[in-house]
Amino acid sequence: MVENGFSSLLAVAAVSISVFARPPPSANNEDAALQRFREVWCGQDPRPNSNAYVTELVLPADCEMPLGISVDEGHVWYVSAKRGLLGSYSPAENKFNEYKIPEWPSREQPFTKISSLQMSWTVKVDKSGNVWFTDENNAIWRFNKASESFDMFKVPASYPSAMDFDTNGNIYFIGISSKSLYFGDVSKMKNQTPEGITEIPLPLNGFSGIDSQVVSSGALVVDNERKEVWVSLLAFQQKGQIFRYDIDTGKVDRTVDLPADLSSPVGAALDNSGNLWVADHGTSIFFKYDPVKENITKFVTSVASPKIYGGKTPPNAYTLPYWIASGQDGSIWFNEHFGNKIARIDTEKLTLTEYWIPSQNKNWAACPAGSATCGIANALQFTIGSNNLAWFSEQTENKIGKLDTAKQVPITVSTPDEITVAKGDSAEIKVSIDARGDFSGQMMAA
């Protein structure tokens, strides 16, 4: 691993489980509680930090708590989970515009309450240029850029979290607290109503014997080429399943039981060959499911940086890959929630490159007293634009960030042969590392 803004390694497999939680604000009086809340959720460092690949931008309003993010040809779009704003940023003009979402109850909540966050996990731009986003209060919103107006569609999904479009511009979506797939016929959907929305039940036999309250939806992606929808369900640390829904037949035609170590399938994306890539948000693992061969290949991120822990990485530290997206060149991207990185894997060469996010909030790690660097930026969502530009939100830092992968990494890593190692066996792998230009960095095998 190279600690100067990126890391590059050949992907290998690992098995691990982790539990994470949001730290609640705690204090003895109202003023102290407000100060504590702002330290945790509003960013300790108001400066836009940067490194060789990442540039940060501070949002125009205070303590916005940005989450869902997307990009079109001219703007980056994001949702403020606290302020109830749909924001846009023009890279060409270096200018922000923000639009007040008509109904956003958390906007009126005191800062010291966790309920002051109204989570909007997904932002998407349709072919007509409308901006869609989820609202945990059982709604999906559509913003018309021409008229600068909002439509709000009430949905039967509990806590809608992920959505995608089909070739006709209709939407499929899921809810974190629901166990079904939902379809929205956009031509029939009406403002302030659930009209035009159909529930598609998923088979739950695989979760028999597990408390239904802990079973939730995770990932969703539409394969428009093959007319399929992929969805995941999970019972955290207990079980994970993936379902394939055939759009033409209207039936779930495949159920994939995941191994016991992959019980948190949250993000999903498709590569150019139709393989499904999934992030497991309870480990350091991401994996590929080949629907033709019906097999799973596991990969693992690099070890979490000691900078996150103030000097030494504990043995039970995991990076928690979260959401996944595909790039225009067929690459697969994901954010490492507790790895504090945005990662890109070349699906042909199977080479993983990870880019360090320069902001860190010490309230989100067990930081030793006096540590110079510690914590994470909570880069909870991201999107891939043209030219492999990645944009991401830093929910607890009041920032969005840009990752420019056009800047060439100054090293290449290669191996002369492909080696297959059986479980329990070991093998020597010779790796060639070539540096270009004046390069200095710390290397670590993972």
Instruction: Give yes or no for a contact between 82 and 117, defined as CB atoms under 8 angstroms apart.
Output: yes
pLDDT at 411: 77
The total domain count for the chain is: 1
Could you tell me the pTM of the whole model? 0.90
Instruction: Give yes or no for a contact between 415 and 433, defined as CB atoms under 8 angstroms apart.
Output: no
pLDDT at 4: 43
CATH number at 418 reads: 2.130.10.10
- Structural domain contains residue 387: yes
User: How far is it, in rounded angstroms, from Cα 378 to Cα 125?
Assistant: 23
pLDDT at 388: 85
- Structural domain contains residue 445: no
pLDDT at 441: 63
Instruction: Give yes or no for a contact between 436 and 410, defined as CB atoms under 8 angstroms apart.
Output: yes
First to last CA, the chain: 8
Residues comprising the chain, all counted = 446
- Structural domain contains residue 417: yes
pLDDT at 418: 72
- Structural domain contains residue 26: no
- Structural domain contains residue 443: no
The label of the residue with tokens 């992907």 reads: 11
pLDDT at 33: 84
Max Cα–Cα distance, the chain, nearest Å:
63
Query: Measuring CA to CA, how many Å separate 415 from each of 276, 340, 422, 444?
Result: 26, 27, 19, 16
User: How far is it, in rounded angstroms, from Cα 404 to Cα 432?
Assistant: 25
- Structural domain contains residue 197: yes
Below-70 pLDDT ranges, the chain: 1-28, 114-115, 416, 438-446
pLDDT at 58: 98
CB neighbours of 68 closer than 8 A, spacing ≥ 6?
A: 78, 79, 120, 121, 122, 123, 133, 134, 381, 393
Q: Which residues span the domain enclosing 305? A: 6-21+48-435
Query: What are residue 163's DSSP bridge partners?
Result: 173
- Structural domain contains residue 196: yes
